Amino acid sequence: MHLRPKDAGLPVLARLAATVDPLSEAASGLAPLARLVHEELNAEVCVALVPRPLDDYPLKRWRRSVFVSGRRGEAPAAVFARLKTRHTLTVALIAPPSWLVSAHSSEQDLDNIRAVDAVLKPDMALASHGGGRGGSENAATGLHLELQRTDGAGGVHLDSSSESSCGNADTRVMRNLGFWSMPACPGTFQLSLAPGASNDTFELVRGSPGSMEDVEVTSFTLANLPLKVRVRPGRQESDLASKTLGTAKRRSRWKRASTRHLNAVAAGNATAGGKVAEAQVEALPTIHVFSLASGHMYERLLSIMVMSVRNHTRAVFAVTAGLFVFTTLLPQLEADMEGVTFHLVSFKWPSWLNPQQEKQRLIWAYKILFLATGMFLIQVAGISFRFWESGYWQSHLGPSPYHISALFVVDLLEFRRQSVGDELRATYNQLTRDPGSLANLDQDLPNYAQHSIPIFSLPQEWLWCESWCSQPTKHLAKAIDLCQNPLTKEPKIAMARRVIPEWEGYHRRVLALQAGAVEAVQQVNSEAAAGRRQEL
């Protein structure tokens, strides 16, 4: 394919030559780029198509590139006009590394679609860099950083009452390349060490070449922000870990405490008549549950799970939901369930980690790789998650069992003290060089690494699954996993109605809440549209 300059009377600002396989992913991105360069830069474009022999049909994704147009009244949009397929599709946005993007408006499930209109918008920019010690590139692992507004605009923590966080943020420095990142809205911020162990052990090297403590966010594209720190006189670097996480291993104590705590939660400390003494409830610590829900169906499943737990325990618990899920439904859920609070968090995939293209694998990776760094409130000390016997695993595991990751509990203080997250991310980067490895990513990775990162096995009754467990043990189950039977492939909702007697009541309750949330959003949109018409 050869495109001569669009206007022979104007200078040629660029020449583009490429050799590409027409059925590769690179080709789908090259075509709109070549057109843009040809039209905007009066470029000469020459593309040679060199197909490769095929073992399998390579195109499993359809892409559209969106560029800002100079035409008035024409908003940038991606349109899949001639896409005809019987397959169920999912929508994903490939955004610049410094963008945090969420679905702003869509009546349909973006993970279960045939044809849909949706609006996505960038919520925040990402401030990030490595944390260096003194003049070196050594990472100050575990350093607690804060990003605080200095322009007087204030802000709130991201929760159910706000669509995005435009206030302060905090994070910890990873051992991997000294990486850290925090979301920020447009405004001016100051990057500093958080009060406590970090500020007591380290100090900023202010004014050092390349160091940046004052951050001005004026676009969604931010340069890396260098930050130099040094150990304070009279302190040692090890003081940070000892003051934050302690010096002794917590494993044996955690096993005993977590078992007692989970049993108390399951029992609800119930007294006669099913009521719980007020003093007993106050004595129970807050249960922090983290879940990644992708798509409308899984948001509904998560809502039902929360209702079920709320019905069977009186302990206060907090739900942290990742990747901006069900924001319109949260006010209804919080009003409907006393003692439950919701937090929304977001975290952008670091550029130095091997990427994941498939959305399901990306969610699995988020769930296991960023437990103690990006996905939780810093002050949380423990978190509960909803989530063989032959060949490779038999030889690799030996006597150790292969654990299912649908339910697991993490002591985040011990997790951070041993830098488990850093070790998991390094192991992940090593294994994913082979695209065939880590088929079930969130399970395979911790099971592979359990020789160096031991796993404490929860009793079997904590997770019952019809595909793998016997019916006589069902009455002992504290949690039921709707894992798909590979022989029948029964849909989850149909399975839930059949397997869980109380499901239908929860389901009707969530549907009613969703209907109320949609009506509320439609009312707000209608009032906003009326206001715009009045202004015109």
Range of lowest pLDDT (397-401, 438-442, 524-528) = 524-528
DSSP state of 173: -
Range of lowest pLDDT (170-184, 270-284, 448-462, 486-500) = 270-284
Label residue 88 by pLDDT band (50, 70, 90).
confident
> Shortest CA distance to 100 belongs to which of 411, 441, 349, 425?
349
Q: What is the dihedral of CA 387, 356, 490, 506, to 10 degrees?
A: 40
Q: Which residues pair with 119 in a beta bridge?
A: 105
pLDDT, mean over the chain? 74
Which tokens in the block code for residue 4?
A: 């001569």
Q: Which pLDDT score, from 0 to 100, does residue 135 have?
A: 42
Q: Which residues pair with 318 in a beta bridge?
A: 288, 341
Q: Which pLDDT score, from 0 to 100, does residue 465 have?
A: 85
Label residue 284 by pLDDT band (50, 70, 90).
low
- The number of C-alpha atoms within 13 Å of 384 and in the hemisphere containing its C-beta is 20
Q: Across residues 233-247, what is the average pLDDT?
A: 77
- CA distances to 157, 199, 219, 280 from 380, in Å: 15, 19, 32, 22
Q: Which pLDDT score, from 0 to 100, does residue 159 have?
A: 35
CA gap 367, 293 in Å, rounded: 11
Q: Which pLDDT score, from 0 to 100, does residue 406 have?
A: 74
Q: Which pLDDT score, from 0 to 100, does residue 444 have?
A: 86
Q: Which residue type, as a one-letter code, is found at position 454? A: P
DSSP state of 159: B
pLDDT digits over 321-353, tens only? 665 455 667 778 878 887 788 777 777 788 788
DSSP state of 249: -
Residue 519, pLDDT > 50, answer yes
Range of lowest pLDDT (236-240, 287-291, 390-394, 514-518) = 390-394
Q: Which pLDDT score, from 0 to 100, does residue 316 have?
A: 67
Higher pLDDT, 443 or 284: 443
Label residue 136 by pLDDT band (50, 70, 90).
very low
Tokens 């990162």 belong to 453
Q: Across residues 357-374, what is the average pLDDT?
A: 74
Contact present, 464 and 480 (Cβ < 8 Å):
yes
Q: Which pLDDT score, from 0 to 100, does residue 254 have?
A: 46
Contact present, 185 and 135 (Cβ < 8 Å):
no
CA gap 414, 420 in Å, rounded: 8
Q: Which pLDDT score, from 0 to 100, does residue 390 have?
A: 47
Residue 243, pLDDT > 80, answer no
Can you list the pairs that 192-197 forms with residues at least 24 positions away whose Cβ atoms lie under 8 Å? 192/145, 192/146, 192/148, 193/143, 193/144, 193/145, 193/146, 193/229, 194/144, 194/145, 194/146, 194/170, 194/378, 196/144, 196/243, 196/244, 197/144, 197/239, 197/240, 197/243, 197/244
Residue 169, pLDDT > 70, answer yes
Q: Which residues pair with 340 in a beta bridge?
A: 317
Contact present, 444 and 415 (Cβ < 8 Å):
no
Q: Which pLDDT score, from 0 to 100, does residue 224 have?
A: 74
Q: Is the dihedral of CA 251, 252, 255, 258 positive or negative?
A: negative
pLDDT digits over 12-41, tens only? 888 889 898 888 878 888 888 888 888 888
CA gap 320, 55 in Å, rounded: 43
Q: Is the dihedral of CA 189, 192, 196, 197 positive or negative?
A: positive
**Of 106-120, 139-153, 188-202, 475-489, highest mean pLDDT:** 188-202
For residue 265, give every residue at least 6 positions away whose Cβ sits within 8 Å of its Cβ, in sequence order, or none: 284, 287, 313, 315
Q: Across residues 152-180, what is the average pLDDT?
A: 61
CA gap 286, 273 in Å, rounded: 24
> Shortest CA distance to 404 belongs to which of 419, 391, 385, 418?
385
Structural domains in the chain plus CATH codes: 1-69 (no CATH), 120-245 (2.60.40.10), 251-457 (3.90.550)
Label residue 278 by pLDDT band (50, 70, 90).
very low
Q: What is the DSSP string of 50-114?
A: -----SS-------------SSTT-------TT---SS-B-------TTEEEEEEEESS-TTSBS
Which tokens in the block code for residue 270?
A: 């119930």
Q: Which pLDDT score, from 0 to 100, does residue 3 have?
A: 86
Residue 204, pLDDT > 60, answer yes
Q: Which pLDDT score, from 0 to 100, does residue 526 have?
A: 65
Percent of the chain with pLDDT over 90: 0
Q: Which pLDDT score, from 0 to 100, does residue 355 have?
A: 82
